[in-house]
Amino acid sequence: MNRYSKALLISGIITVVISVIVLLLCIYDWSGLTPLAAVFIIWAQIVFFGGLIFQQKIRTQTEQLVLQASFIPLLTIYSFICGVLSVLFLIRFKSEWKYFVSIQLILAGIISTLLIALYSASKAIRVTNQNTMHDIIQINSYISRINTLAVTAGEEEGYGFDLKTISEALRFTDISAMVPVDEEIDHIISELELEFEKETIFRSTKLIQERCTKLAKLIEKRKIQSKAIKEGII
C-alpha cells in the first residue's frame, strides 16, 4: 500500500469514526428506519474511500485516464446521493423504510454495474495499449536492423540504397499491429544480417539481391494484411 492509499485509509477511518460519534450524539429516537439510514450514511463513506483505495490498487492493471475520468466521479456521485437519501428519509419519511431500502438497493445495483463495466473497459484498454506498444517496438526494431544493414552496405552494389528504400517502405506501413507476414520479414532480415557479417569478398551478391527483392515484396504484402486486419478480415 503506497502513501496515498494509507492517507486515504486513515482519512476514511477518521471520517467514519466522527460520523458514528455525531450520529450517536445527535439522534435520540432510533425507531423506524433510523438504524438503516445511519448504516447507509456510514456505508456511503466506506464505499467512497474504499473505492479510492481500490482505484490506487489496480492502477497498474488498468488505464488510469479512463478510471480518473469516470470511476472516481461515479463513486463521488453515488456516495453523495446515498448519504443525501439517508438524511432525507431520516428527516421526512422515517416510516417508509421499504421504499428507502428499495431505492438504496436499486442505486447500489446500478452503480455496481457501471463500476464493474468501467473497470473491465479500462483493463481491456490497457491490455490493448500494451499490445500496441509491443508491436510498435517490434516493427521499429525491424526498421532499425534494416537501417544498420544499409549503413553496413554503404553504396556497395546499390545495396545501401535498396535497403534504405525498403526501410522507408516498412516505416510507412501500419506499425501499430503485428501481422502474419512479420515473421517472414524477421527471418529475411536475419538472413541478410548473417550475410553482411561476412567479409565483402565472401558475400553472395545473388543471395543479397534475392533477399532484398523478397523483403520488398513482403512489405507490400504487409500493407495488404494490415489493411485486412483493420477491416476485420484477418
- The domain ranges of the chain are 3-128, 154-230
Q: pLDDT at position 12, please? A: 83
Q: pLDDT at position 234, please? A: 53
Q: Which residues contact 106 (CB under 8 A, 6 or more apart)?
A: none
Residue 155: which pLDDT band, with cuts at 50, 70 and 90?
Answer: low
CA distance 227 to 234: 9
- What secondary structure, in 3-state letters, does the chain show? CCHHHHHHHHHHHHHHHHHHHHHHHHCCCCCCCHHHHHHHHHHHHHHHHHHHHHHHHCCCCCCHHHHHHHHHHHHHHHHHHHHHHHHHHHHCCCCCHHHHHHHHHHHHHHHHHHHHHHHHHHHHHHHHHHHHHHHHHHHHHHHHHHHHHHHHHCCHHHHHHHHHHHHHHHHCCCCCCCCCCHHHHHHHHHHHHHHHCCCHHHCCHHHHHHHHHHHHHHHHHHHHHHHHHHCCCC
Residue 141: which pLDDT band, with cuts at 50, 70 and 90?
Answer: very high
- Please say if the pLDDT value at position 60 is more than 80: no
Average pLDDT, the chain: 82
- Please say if the pLDDT value at position 158 is more than 70: no
The 10s digit of each residue's pLDDT in 117-134 is: 888 888 888 888 888 888
**pTM, entire model:** 0.64
Which amino acid, 227?
A: K
> 41, 23 in Cβ contact below 8 A?
yes
Using a pLDDT cut of 70, give the percent of the chain over it: 91
Highest mean pLDDT among 47-56, 145-154, 180-189, 203-212: 180-189
Q: Which residue has the higher pLDDT, 234 or 56?
A: 56
Highest mean pLDDT among 130-134, 136-140, 202-206: 136-140
Mean local confidence (pLDDT), 22-45: 82
Q: pLDDT at position 187, please? A: 92
Q: Smallest Cα–Cα separation from 33: which of 75, 94, 105?
A: 94
Other C-beta atoms closer than 10 Å to the C-beta of 37 total 25
- Please say if the pLDDT value at position 64 is more than 80: no
- Please say if the pLDDT value at position 102 is more than 70: yes
- Please say if the pLDDT value at position 233 is more than 60: no
- Please say if the pLDDT value at position 63 is more than 70: no
